[in-house]
Structure 1
Amino acid sequence: MDRYERTLALHRVLKNARYPVPIKRLMDELGCSRATLYRDIAFLRDALGAPIESDATGEGGLRYDEKEAERFELPGLWLNSDELHALLATHQLLDRSGNGVLASALAPLKSRIETLLSEQAGGKRWPVERVRVLGSGVRRRDEIAFRVVAGAVLERKRLGFDYLARSTNERTHRTVSPQRLTHYKDNWYLDAYDHDRDGLRSFSVDRIQHARVIDEAALDLPDAELDQHLASSYGIFSGAPKGWASIVFSAKAARWVADEHWHSKQEGRFLPDGRYQLKIPYSNAKELLMDVLRYGADAEITEPESLRQQARTLLQLAVSAYEKST
């Protein structure tokens, strides 16, 4: 636990306690040393004004003053960024469910989220509309196909479908053993073992057509093998790494890139002149190039040379398109 989590936990224990709570129990509840506990108690009492009182019997227990306990609440927001995002994203997703089959079943969950947010505001209404969770680049999909795909993943059945590849606009028929359904950058992808091609592939669900479940058990691959193939390189269509890309960002862009998470195995360092060098394992260059090129002149791929040439070609084609328009 960090300090804020311990303070929140300490507050909850003391607020709900009918009798003084022994120091040893508080140490066990918070998972901390006696010295850390006393620092947290001092912070809660002196900085936040908690009505903490010691056990009058001299046995070392702590509790809130009975008269003040009911009305004392911690000030400010005590959710961390991930917790707040999870609650608000879930709340907005429940709003988007409309009047579907889950609406009535999920209503208590939405109410519970609103209660949790209200508790953060000391019992007042929490203004959900003041915080936004925005989607970006959400693509249209066939909901019937999505249900079939999701059902096959959960039921562990093989799946047959037509796939219209976005890169080539070619239609192929696939027979796969679905492994995982992945939500990435606001879109859904199917990670599956392709029986015809004898390998793992990722499919954009919005490009799947005429999906049907095959009454045959799906081939299950070990999680370690899936992670090695699907999460070891950059981007959603990763595959086993073919190499490492080295990108150097200008000193201006470095202020953003140095704080960004691109990949679990990324390596980054500031250069003496203030620029920032980022190294990332990659397999399929397409997504990596798109993300690098959005930085324009503030990013330069330095290695490998083949990736650098691909970036140069894309930039030259872009310049050519602008020259033709004039």
Structure 2
Amino acid sequence: MDKIERITALHRILKGARYPVTVKRLQDELGCSRATVYRDLAYLRDALMAPVEGDGEAGFRYAAGQTDRFELPGLWLSSDELYALVASQQLLLRTGGGVLAGALAPLQKRLEGLLADHAGTERWPVERVRVIAHRGRKLDQAAFRCVASTVLERRQLSFEYRARSTDERTRRIVSPQRITHYRDNWYLDAWDHGRQALRSFAVDRISSARALDAPAIEMGKDELSQHLASSYGIFSGEPKGWATILFSPKAARWVADEQWHARQEGRFLADGRYELKVPYSASRELLMDVLHYGADAEIVGPPMLREQAKSLLELALTNYENDPGKR
């Protein structure tokens, strides 16, 4: 038990005690030496202004009438809670192109101070928590903050959207429902007023965002989940079918531990291969993931999806038919 946890436990013991608590009992409950108990009592009384009274013979307690009026000041976390918090904070800082770095800067300093108290040093080596973003896209910080604020404040949002597939620019007015972090990128799930439908927007394609005064139209959680989480990937919707994919014995060791979809079905075959079935709406993202496995994956069905994968592989092969220097 470290110092922070001992102080928290000591406060809890004294707060709940009706009679003075002996030093021997404090040693046993805190798992520390007699000298450490005295140091912690002094810190609790002198630094934190706790109403500690008593001595080594009679024991220690909080002064009568002060028990319910004193609480530990500031933020008190156990080691596990603090380590989990700093890991999460580093994850937020180092993903999304640093879009949250400015907002989290004050928290960063407070966390480093708490961690230093735990470690007994002036500086905590936060660089030893390493987060490597994979294929994350650059975000406009102003647009991201505007999007996030309208999601939390439940206000409508106006923005210009540049579709990645067609490069077309359109002006949208939406009722934000939630913001989603998926595969190192941020997406906005919203009710599109112009199209009268639920849509998902890549936040990195949003510009000129402006919060409106009108309150956002609220969608039910069940409706959101059914429309946006029922199918494969971020580009979801009502499932159009189920894809069946076979993976080689080598790839099976990896795929069997992966979560592709909440409703996926998987099983090992007698020959060591792994059969995975997932619902899907749009095929693009699913095909991208399957082709990532190369020769270790084969789409068995449905036939149309299998043909799409075959066509993509044939197109890719044409890039290698000629010497690149002769093009």
Please give the TM-score of this superposition, normalised by the length of structure 2: 0.70
Percent identity over the alignment is 53
- Conserved 8 A contact 1:94-1:110: no
Give the C-alpha shift of residue 103 in structure 1.
Answer: 2.6
Residue 216 (structure 1) aligned with residue 214 (structure 2): yes
* Match in the other structure for 2:156: 158
Residue 171 (structure 1) aligned with residue 169 (structure 2): yes
* Match in the other structure for 2:130: 132
Aligned residues: 270
> What secondary structure does 1:322 align onto?
coil
* Match in the other structure for 2:109: 107
Q: CA RMSD in A?
A: 3.7
- Conserved 8 A contact 1:176-1:193: yes
Instruction: Identify if the C-alpha distance between structure 1 residues 215 and 128 changes in structure 2 by more than 3 Å, giving closer, same or farther.
Output: closer
* Match in the other structure for 1:87: 86
Q: 1:244 aligns with which of 242, 245, 270?
A: 242
Instruction: Identify if the C-alpha distance between structure 1 residues 321 and 109 changes in structure 2 by more than 3 Å, giving closer, same or farther.
Output: same
> What secondary structure does 1:323 align onto?
coil
> What secondary structure does 2:310 align onto?
helix
Q: 1:182 aligns with which of 165, 180, 183?
A: 180
Q: 1:67 aligns with which of 14, 20, 33?
A: 33
> What secondary structure does 2:321 align onto?
helix
Instruction: Identify if the C-alpha distance between structure 1 residues 215 and 269 changes in structure 2 by more than 3 Å, giving closer, same or farther.
Output: same
Q: How does 1:1-326 map to 2 (within 5 A)?
A: 16=9, 63=29, 67=33, 87-91=86-90, 93=92, 100=102, 102-104=104-106, 106-113=108-115, 118=119, 127-326=125-324
Give the C-alpha shift of residue 214 in structure 1.
Answer: 2.6
Instruction: Identify if the C-alpha distance between structure 1 residues 282 and 151 changes in structure 2 by more than 3 Å, giving closer, same or farther.
Output: same
Aligned partners of 2:105, 2:129: CA distance in 1, in Å? 23
- Conserved 8 A contact 2:156-2:213: yes
- Conserved 8 A contact 2:99-2:139: no
Instruction: Identify if the C-alpha distance between structure 1 residues 128 and 150 changes in structure 2 by more than 3 Å, giving closer, same or farther.
Output: closer
Amino acid at match of 2:157: L
Aligned partners of 1:68, 1:100: CA distance in 2, in Å? 45
Deviations 1:207-257 (A, max 9, x none): 112222232121110111111111111111111211111110000111111
Give the C-alpha shift of residue 325 in structure 1.
Answer: 4.4
Aligned partners of 2:289, 2:84: CA distance in 1, in Å? 24
Aligned partners of 1:162, 1:315: CA distance in 2, in Å? 35
Please give the TM-score of this superposition, normalised by the length of structure 1: 0.70
Instruction: Identify if the C-alpha distance between structure 1 residues 86 and 274 changes in structure 2 by more than 3 Å, giving closer, same or farther.
Output: farther
Give the C-alpha shift of residue 263 in structure 1.
Answer: 1.4
- Conserved 8 A contact 1:97-1:103: no
Q: What stretches of structure 2 of length at least 5 have no aligned partner?
A: 14-23, 38-78
Greater Cα offset, 243-252 or 128-137: 128-137
- Conserved 8 A contact 2:99-2:141: no
Pick the structure with greater CA Rg: 2
Instruction: Identify if the C-alpha distance between structure 1 residues 202 and 99 changes in structure 2 by more than 3 Å, giving closer, same or farther.
Output: closer
